[in-house]
Structure 1
Amino acid sequence: LIRETLSYEDYLDIEVLANKLGVHSHAITKDGIYTSNRNIGRYTVHESTLVHMPIYYRTPEEVADKEFVKAMYIDEPEILDAAIAKLPQEFYDRFTIVKSTPFYLEILKKTANKGIAVTHLAEKLGLSKEETMAIGDEENDRAMLEVVGSPVVMENGNPEIKKIAKHITKSNDESGVAYAIRKWVLD
């Protein structure tokens, strides 16, 4: 229904900063994961396995025609956290930046986040805020959970995210999403 992508200039700036900060990075299109890291990071491989997408090694010049959904800084938590501490304010002003796991920092177009997407979908479907529910577990879910009438957080979710929950569901390993839908939607 809506598509918010990073420009090639955005990609280049993100890539240059990754190199300055000493973190692995990759960018994602609808077709695959692109990295200019010769030593492909283990978390790029993890992401590829998780989302069932191929990895392509390409130089920045070779991806000028790509439409990137998001870019990610990906590394060991201590390396990533050190890099996050050095991100310039200009990046926060220019992009939506969310940490989705201890080893993933997602960088998206400023107008792209789960909250905007859920709000748009609810409007399209004619639903009021009170008629919406979202389920999440990490910082990348915060914007979405803050705009729905019934925010649900997984039992094994981030403690800070749990603070905004109306309900806590079972953990990921206990089919918490299915439990939440049965308990707070279908009952």
Structure 2
Amino acid sequence: EALKEYDYGCFVFSDVDLIPMDDRNTYKCFSQPRHLSVSMDKFGFRLPYNQYFGGVSSMSKEQFLKINGFPNNYWGWGGEDDDIFNRLSSKGMTISRPSGAVGKCRMIRHNRDGGNEDNPQRFDRIAHTRETMNKDGIKTLSYKVVKVEKDQLYTKITVDVGKKD
């Protein structure tokens, strides 16, 4: 929806509960997809596993479109970040990362949102990313714009993606 307003060339995706701790961690795009939150307090300031792509990441418009964006079939908590990693890998892209010192983030402690329980299908869906990624993503995204709020520094677009099938 944002691309209807302006031809953005870079997208940064961030969990709302993560706060960067080092201002040298530039939120911009690179020649390869970038995982920016490599050292989070909730994981003891270490990467939990090499394929981890959760928290904060950036992709150029070309990279994002090449993987058909985010999957639409994940409801509840978990799995979509690993699906994105699989999409990037299957298209021959590698993940770049800042150092652990630069990529440090703190998580704001909170209770999990109601209705956002663990996604029981996440492991099966992750295992089948390569078969589903061309059919499930930005090309098949369906939504209704509910509200557009323009501020001096940002535009907030609220959409309705419907209910889980």
TM-score bracket relative to the smaller structure: under 0.3
* Structure of greater relative contact order (alpha carbons < 8 Å, 6+ residues apart): 2
What TM-score do the two structures reach when normalised by structure 2?
A: 0.27
Structure in which a larger fraction of residues adopt helix: 1
What TM-score do the two structures reach when normalised by structure 1?
A: 0.25
